[in-house]
Amino acid sequence: MRHLQQHVVDEYEGCEYDSDYSDASMGSDLSDNVEVDFGILFDVDGVLARGSSPLDPAKRAFEKLKDAQGNLRVPVAFVTNACNRSADKARQIGNWFNMKVQPDQVIHAPTPAKLLRQYHGKHTLVIGQEYRLDIAEDLGFSNLCTIEDIKEAYPLLDMVDHENRVRVARGEYTENPQFPKVDVILLIGEPCRWETDLQLIIDLLLTEGKPTEAPRDPHNVPQLPIIACNMDLVFMAEACMPRFGHGAFLVCLEALYHKLTGKPLKYQNLVGKPCEITYRFAEHTVSQIARNMGITRPLKRLYFFGDNPSVDIVGANLYDRYIKRRDSNGNAYELPVSRLIPQLDDLHEQTVEDCHSMLVGTGVYKHHPQEEQKSSSPTSKSHVYHGHRDIAHEADLSTPHKYVHDVYEGIEYIFKRESVSLT
Ligand SMILES: [Mg+2]
């Protein structure tokens, strides 16, 4: 492999569409076994697909990214806040674009919890819906229980379920005080019926994981570690209005805990976009993919495609800030505890110097250039911040480095910016 002489446009380009590229014909042909030193990350829904249908510009983009043998010429990974089994998603993306996608290339909201090894052997209550146990095991958690297990062990707790009240009144229950203490709460996604989960999670938090007797002082109980994956307050589905996401469940949990104890709920870790740990994990993943492709140069630039300014773009810009402001030991600047990134030897070295946020107009975001100044203004009265409590609102963070109409246009932009031929 030979090294590619790259010319990179360094100036900040705002989010206006800008066709003033350098001449692509001056670049090198990627099909000629050239080593690149950049990687590309894609959000999935709204960027590559809508629901289960791939978008045409995404199909054309991947044709450009593949060589004659159908192999990708640039290291890529997929970063979604959805909560599925990675093997299923990898198969789906592979089928959409007629290429091989490894499960490790797909980063779901909970995936970076693989790094939180100190909790993997602890007795963990996992909250979510279908496949939550499979997903938690895949992350490395080996000692799991569900809300149904808690409900069965402590049948007197769930009085928000009126059928359970009737069962208890009839004496149709058996308690199991030997049920092991819960050590960690892993919130993978919103449960199906929130009220039981909210009650029982609060019970565990007020009793250090063993709700067999009331706390002497509920205001001073050491809090169990909580790991929360995906903070999206709402998301768009088929309905005419946004739907509650996992972030809405977290708001309820935080409000109840604060109301009952007078203290803010603490998160041990927040994972999923827009938190830095997800982008760090994505850099690690794409660096490993680059190495497996035979690329020996360290990756210097990441391009992140997203359709949601307040999630994808805020996250990419936060990571860009993180890598530019961290100290020589890799420690982050003043991040809240919940957003610290574990420093692990088996994480690929952090080499990226720029994380370039790329906003597309094929999903949540609708581009109105004439309104851009107005809507992105921090003083805009119409703006209500939907982000998580532990991520302070900064309007500028949702401004991308580059706006493109779709992901195909984005790939053209990247290849020209990197002086790589599109042939
Ligand atoms: Mg999206």
Residues 56-66: what's their mean pLDDT?
A: 97
Q: Are 135 and 157 in contact (CB under 8 A)?
A: no
Cα of 394 from ligand 1 centre, angstroms: 20
Cα of 365 from ligand 1 centre, angstroms: 9
- Tokens standing for residue 317: 């810009």
- Within 12-168, strands assigned E span 28-29, 34-35, 38-42, 49-50, 53-54, 76-79, 106-107, 124-127, 144-145
Cα of 43 from ligand 1 centre, angstroms: 6
Summarised one tens digit per residue, pLDDT across range 10-39 is 333 444 334 333 333 344 455 555 689 999
Residue 19: the pLDDT is 38
Cα of 50 from ligand 1 centre, angstroms: 9
> Which range, of 277-291, 321-335, 364-378, 384-398, averages the lowest pLDDT?
364-378
Cα of 46 from ligand 1 centre, angstroms: 5
Cα of 9 from ligand 1 centre, angstroms: 27
Summarised one tens digit per residue, pLDDT across range 196-251 is 999 999 999 999 999 999 999 999 999 999 999 999 998 877 788 888 999 999 99
The mean of the pLDDT values for the chain is: 88
Cα of 396 from ligand 1 centre, angstroms: 19
For 326-354, give one letter per residue: b (16+ CB within 10 A) or e.
Answer: beeeeebeebeebbbbeeeeebbebebeb
Pairing of strands 53-54, 49-50: antiparallel
Cα(40)–Cα(249) distance, rounded to whole angstroms? 32
Helix 276-292, helix 314-325: angle, nearest 10? 80
- Within 147-229, strands assigned E span 184-187, 226-229
Query: 72 by DSSP, 3-state: which?
Result: strand
Residues 259-271: what's their mean pLDDT?
A: 97
Cα of 47 from ligand 1 centre, angstroms: 6
Task: Identify the CA nearest to 396 among candidates 374, 371, 376, 375.
Answer: 376
Q: Within 13 Å of residue 10, how many CA atoms lie on the same side as its CB?
A: 4
